[in-house]
Structure 1
Amino acid sequence: MTATSIALFNNKGGVGKTTLAYHLAHMMSRLGQNVLAVDLDPQANLTSVCLDESEIEDLWSSSSELIAQGVIAARLPGGGRVRGDRTVADAVRPILEGTGDVALVEPVELKSGLWLLPGSLDLSRFEDKLSNEWFKSFAGDIAAIRTTTAFHRMIKHAAASVDADIVLIDVGPNLGAINRAALIAADSVLMPLAADLFSLKGLSNLGPTLREWRHNWRQVVLPQVPSGISAPPADMTPLGYVIMQPEMRLDRPVKAYERWLERIPVVYSSAVLDDPSPSPDDRHHIATLRNYRSLMPLAHDARKPMFELKAADGALGSTQKYVHTCFKEFRGLAENVLQRALDR
C-alpha cells in the first residue's frame, strides 16, 4: 500500500506550522498510523524539535558544510538512534555535486510507529540547483527530471522502508524552488493560518502558484519522464485549513481577530480552490487550535508533545487539565485530517 503524503504549508512564516506538524505526527501515530515525518525546511526546525542537540550533532557530523565552516564542531559519531549521512541534504548531495543520483537514506525511528527523515541547514544549497533545472525539465532533460523528482523518490523510498501509512512533509514559508519540488511530491496540502492580513495575502499567492506548478508539471514535464524514473502526479489537493489562534492581548482586540477570521473562507475558496463563486461557507475550516503558550516550555524541556505532559514534567493542577484539553483537540484534528486525506 502506498503512503498518503500531506505537506503542511503557508508561505507566511510564524503561524506554528512546525509545531502543528510535530504534534500531528505524534497524534496520528497514537491513532495507529505508521507515520513518516519529513523535514524539507532548510531551517530544519522539525528536526530540532524531534531530536536533542547531541543527536543533531551526530546527525550532521559527516562532511557537513556547517562543520567545514566552523559553525559547529565535529565529534565522533554517537551510538544512539541517529548517525551521519541520514539527512535530506545527504540524500540530494550526489545530485548537487554531480556525482550521481539521489541517495536513498533511511529515516530515524523516534518511537514505535513514528519516523523522521531529518533536515539540515545544508539543504539550502540545493535551492539554486532546483531553480536552474526546473525549466530544463520542460525540455525533457533527464538530469533535470532526476533533480526535480529527487524529493519524491527519496520520500517514496523512506516511506516504503518503514511501511508508512502517512507522510507529513514540513516545508519552509516561501514559494521557492525547494518548496516547489516538495509540494509537487505531496498528495495533499494542509494550510495552517493565523487570522491576519499576512495569512490572507499568503493564501492569495499560494492558490494560483499551486495551480501553475500543477499545470506545468502535468502538461509539460510528466509526458517526457522516462518510464524508469518515478515521478509524482503533483496532486497537491487542498485538504483545508487550520486556524492557529493567537494569544489575545490588549493591543490585538478580539474584534480585529474576528474580522480577519470572517474573511478566510472566501479567500480560501476563491484563491486556493479557484471557485468562481466564492462562499463564506467554512466547510474547509478543519479546526481552530487555541494558543498553548503555557505548555510549550514544559513540552520543550521534556522533549515530548504538549498532550503527553505528565506531573513529573511540571504539568500540575490546572495545567494538567489544560494538557487533557490539548489532547482532545489534537486527537479531533488528527482524525479529521486523516479522514480528509484518505477520502480525497
Structure 2
Amino acid sequence: MISVALFNNKGGVGKTTLTYHLAYMLQRLGHRVLTVDLDPQSNLTAAFLDEDELSAVWQEPLQSDWPLLDGQQKLLFRVDGAGTVASAVEPIMRGLGDVRFVDPVTITEGLWLVPGDLNLSAFEDKLSAAWPNSLIGDHAALRTTTAFYRLISNTGTRVNADIVLLDVGPNLGAINRSALLAADTVLMPLAADLFSLRGLRNLGPALREWRRIWQTNVLQHIPRDIPAPAGTMTPIGYVVMQPKMRLDRPVKAYQRWLDRVPVVFANSVLEDAPSGGESYEIATLRNYQSLMPLAHDARKPMFDLRSADGALGSTQTLVQRCYQDFRALSEELLRRLADHQPAGR
C-alpha cells in the first residue's frame, strides 16, 4: 500500500476534482483505492456522497416530513455505520482517549472513502500544541501527531488498499503538516499562473523542514507501540490543470508562467535539481468545464458521462478525450509510484 497526498499551497487549482477522477480511474484500472478527505472543507466527500448521505454520515437528522424514496433509502445503506476523519480523532480532541478507527464508505467495489467533516478544523489547535511536545517524546503528543497516519494505515489495511489518495487543504497549517507527514508521496496540481508558482516556493521549503524535523528529532522518540510514518513525503511530480481561457488574457500569458514551473519545482520543491533530463510534469489536463455541470448532476466522473446524462454530439467526443487523458495520467502515476515504495516503521 502506498499513499499519495494531493496538495498545493494555492487553492482553486482543481485538486479535489483531480483526486475524485484519479480515484475512479485507478479503480477502473484494477487497483483497490482508498480516499481520505483530510480537508475540513470536505469537498471530496461532497463529490462522492449526496446530501442525504452526508446528513447520515455527519449525523445531521433529516426532516421527519421529508420521506425518503426507495432509491434514496438504498443509497443510505452504503454509509450506514461509517465514520468521518473528525469522529476518528474526536477522543483525542476531547482528551478522552486515542484515535477511534472508523469504517469507510464503500463507494463502489474496490473504492472507499473516509469522509471529511467541517468539525475537523477543531483539531488544528490540538495538533499545533502537540507538535513541540512531540519533539521531546511526549507520548500523548506523539499519539496526536500520528493520528492521521494510524487511521490511514488501519483503514487501508482493512480494505486491502493498493493506493491511498489523501485530499489535503490549501494551507501550511498543523492539520496539513500531520496529513502530509502521513503520506509516502506528494502529487501537486498546478495552474499556469503566478499564484501556483508562489505556492510552490512556499511549499517546498515547508516540506523539507517538516521532513527534517520529523526524521531527525521526532522518530527517535516514538515507542514501538505507536505506529508512525517515515515522513518521506516524496514529491513525485505535478499535474498542470489548464484554466478556462479568457478573451482578455491570451494563451501566451499562461505559457509564460508554465515555462517557469519546471525550474521552480526543481529549485523549491526538490532538494536536488532533476538529473538525466527527467520531467516532473506527469500530465497536462485540458479544461473540461463544460462537462462539470453534467457530471455533478449525474453524480459520476466526467469520463463516464453518457448521452442519457446530456453528453450529446461533440460533448461525447470531449468525454472520450477526458477518459483518455485521465487514463494516461493514471498509468504514468502508477509508473512513478512503482519507484517509490513506502518506508513506514
Distance 1:58 1:245 in 2: 36
TM-score normalised by the chain length of structure 2: 0.93
Structure 2 stretches lacking a partner, 5+ long: 341-345
Deviation, 1:128, is 0.5
Pick the aligned partner of 1:33 from 24, 31, 34.
Answer: 31
Name the SS for the 1:38 alignment partner: strand
Pick the aligned partner of 1:136 from 133, 136, 139.
Answer: 133
CA RMSD between the two structures: 1.8
Aligned 8 A contact 2:82 2:104 in 1: no
Aligned to 2:8: 10
Deviation, 1:74, is 7.5
Aligned 8 A contact 1:94 1:100 in 2: yes
Residue pairs, 1:1-344, within 5 angstroms = 3-61=1-59, 79-83=76-80, 86-275=83-272, 283-344=279-340
Distance 2:124 2:2 in 1: 25
Deviation, 1:255, is 1.0
Aligned 8 A contact 1:171 1:182 in 2: yes
Aligned 8 A contact 1:266 1:280 in 2: no
Aligned 8 A contact 1:27 1:330 in 2: yes
Structure 1 stretches lacking a partner, 5+ long: 62-66
Distance 2:62 2:95 in 1: 27
Distance 1:304 1:169 in 2: 20
Name the SS for the 1:343 alignment partner: coil
Call closer, same or farther: CA 1:74–1:95 in 2, change over 3 Å. Answer: farther
Aligned 8 A contact 2:38 2:166 in 1: yes
Name the SS for the 1:6 alignment partner: strand
Distance 1:309 1:130 in 2: 41
4+ residue stretches of structure 1 with deviation over 4 A? 72-79, 277-282
Query: How far does the alpha carbon of each residue in 1:230-286 deviate from its partner, in whole angstroms, 9 at most, with x for none?
Result: 0000110001000000011112211110000000000000000133x6789670011
Distance 1:270 1:216 in 2: 20
Query: How far does the alpha carbon of each residue in 1:75-107 deviate from its partner, in whole angstroms, 9 at most, with x for none?
Result: 799652113660000000000001110001011
Name the SS for the 1:81 alignment partner: helix
Query: How far does the alpha carbon of each residue in 1:11-30 deviate from its partner, in whole angstroms, 9 at most, with x for none?
Result: 10000000000000000000
Name the SS for the 2:260 alignment partner: helix
Counterpart of 1:301, as a letter, is D
Counting aligned pairs with the same residue, the percent is 63
Query: How far does the alpha carbon of each residue in 1:126-174 deviate from its partner, in whole angstroms, 9 at most, with x for none?
Result: 0000001001000100000000000000000100111000000000000
Aligned 8 A contact 1:60 1:84 in 2: no
Deviates more, 1:140-149 or 1:279-288: 279-288
Counterpart of 1:137, as a letter, is S
Distance 1:84 1:253 in 2: 51
Name the SS for the 2:56 alignment partner: helix
Distance 1:138 1:297 in 2: 47
Aligned 8 A contact 1:106 1:161 in 2: no
Counterpart of 1:25, as a letter, is A
Deviation, 1:318, is 0.9
Aligned 8 A contact 1:88 1:123 in 2: yes
TM-score normalised by the chain length of structure 1: 0.93
